[in-house]
Structure 1
Amino acid sequence: MTVARPTWLDELVGQVETTPAHYYSSFLPPDHGAGRRAGVLVLVGPRDEDPGDHDILLTERAHGMRTHAGQVAFPGGSVDPEDRDVIDAALREAHEEVGLDRTSVDVLATLPELYMPHRDFGITPVVGWWRDPHPLTAGDPREVASVLRAPVSELVDPANRFTVTHPNGYRGPAFEVDGLLVWGFTAGIIAKLLDLAGLAEPWDDSRHEELPERMWR
């Protein structure tokens, strides 16, 4: 069943179009461009049990992976030679990772390309509306442990927001959703988009929690 998208999402898209790249991150691609490029899908959809609420599609990475094991992330990945662009890469990867039908998605906007200097990686978040939701399943278990549709109502709940810290000095936004920790690049983008959408609620920014050791890699 096709569902109309919420007005706050249209307002968010309008904000994205006029918001400079440095709002999202202090790390931007060098003038000569990133060595590798990727697209990740920030997919907003209606909640099955409450269409008045909405969720964001996330994946939990397999716990046996060499890097970022068990980390929660947006579906997406590197641009392959057969991909037309970062949007095509994000939709293709979402299909491979969770079985998303790309024809069920309305792509609304792309954020500026952001940069991971330690990997020479440029990442473009692609904002989409899940117009025609359908069941999803984790793909290759060596890559995806589970599929998570994180309720926006839980993401904006002050009780689920805090700052995560790492012994190396890193500090960044974090969320707890359905027993999972969302942090790093993914949490940073979610936090910025909630602010732009006017959905964020005041939360205790003095609440700091150390990143679990299993996630240091």
Structure 2
Amino acid sequence: MTPGPVFDPLIEALSARPTRRIADEERTPRGERAAAVLMLFTDTPDPALTFVTRAETLRRHAGQIALPGGRVDPGDLGRADTALREANEEIGLLRSGVAIFGELPPLWVPASGYDVTTVLAAWDGHQRLHPVDPAETGAVHQYPVSQLASNEVRVTGRHPSGFRGPAFALGDQFIWGLTALLVDWVLELAGWRQPWDEDRIVDVPKRFMRD
């Protein structure tokens, strides 16, 4: 499938090779370990973005909301292959009907030491996504761009370590850290970003800030 016109500004921005985002610290890749995540949008006028809740039993980032993805395996044919493989293993996403249309420059993640590439894709949204392995994925969420961009859910998240960055307060769910940084970046690149009160600071709920 070919992504619909709603993605044209984003595809154009990605083709221009956007400058790497720097948030709380330098994010230049270190070249030690690599991973990829999938930013999967429904191909609709108001695209919905897919997230997962990481299982409570995981050693790192348990219970946090993230994008599907994981480390690069030796047999992977590229970052898109990694992202699609991981999405299939985590939420049962089938590759058929998924259109990859770009990547963000990789960012280094201090907490894990991985260089993370974000792979962007569109799909028809007809398949039911679900946690394949409850030991890895706790839940699947989808939020439309209009909601993610709204002033009502956008906040600045504050961590006790001193970290502050873009965050999304969605009822009893809270998206922050690298995932929120990536979503904020794509909203801007696509022209979907709306004015919001960056001075509205919210402490990251304890259940979402485990290392």
Give the TM-score of the pair, scaled to structure 2: 0.91
Q: Is 1:90 matched with 2:90? A: no
The answer to whether structure 1 residue 126 and structure 2 residue 119 are counterparts is yes
Calculate percent identity across the aligned residue pairs.
Answer: 38
Aligned match of 2:12: 14
Partner SS for 2:138: strand
Decide which of 67, 79, 90 is 1:74's aligned counterpart: 67
- Structure 1 position 153, deviation (Å): 1.4
What is the alpha-carbon distance in structure 1 between the residues aligned to residue 145 and residue 111 of structure 2? Answer: 31
* SS of equivalent residue, structure 1 residue 137: coil
Q: Distance in 2 between matches of 1:5 and 1:118?
A: 34
CA contact (8 A) 1:37 1:121 kept: yes
Partner of 1:152: 145
Separation of aligned partners in 2, 1:8 and 1:76: 24
Q: Identify the match of residue 101 of structure 1 among 94, 111, 114.
A: 94
Greater percentage in helix: 1
1:164 shift after superposition? 0.6
Q: Distance in 2 between matches of 1:145 and 1:171?
A: 26
Deviation at 1:24, TM superposition (A): 5.6
Deviation at 1:117, TM superposition (A): 3.3
The match for 1:197 is 190
User: Is residue 18–residue 104 contact of structure 2 (8 Å, CA) maintained in 1?
Assistant: no
Following TM superposition, by how much is the alpha carbon of 1:202 offset from its aligned partner in structure 2, in angstroms? 0.7
Distance apart, 1:55 and its partner CA? 0.4
Go from structure 1 to structure 2 and tell me whether the alpha carbon gap of 1:88 and 1:24 turns closer, same or farther (over 3 Å shift): farther
Please list every run of 5 or more consecutive structure 2 residues that lacks an aligned counterpart in the other structure.
none
C-alpha RMSD of the superposition: 1.8
Aligned residue pair count? 208
Match of 1:210 among 200, 203, 207: 203
Report which stretch shifted further, 18-27 or 58-67: 18-27
For residues 173 and 132 of structure 1, the distance between their equivalents in structure 2, rounded to whole angstroms, comes to 27
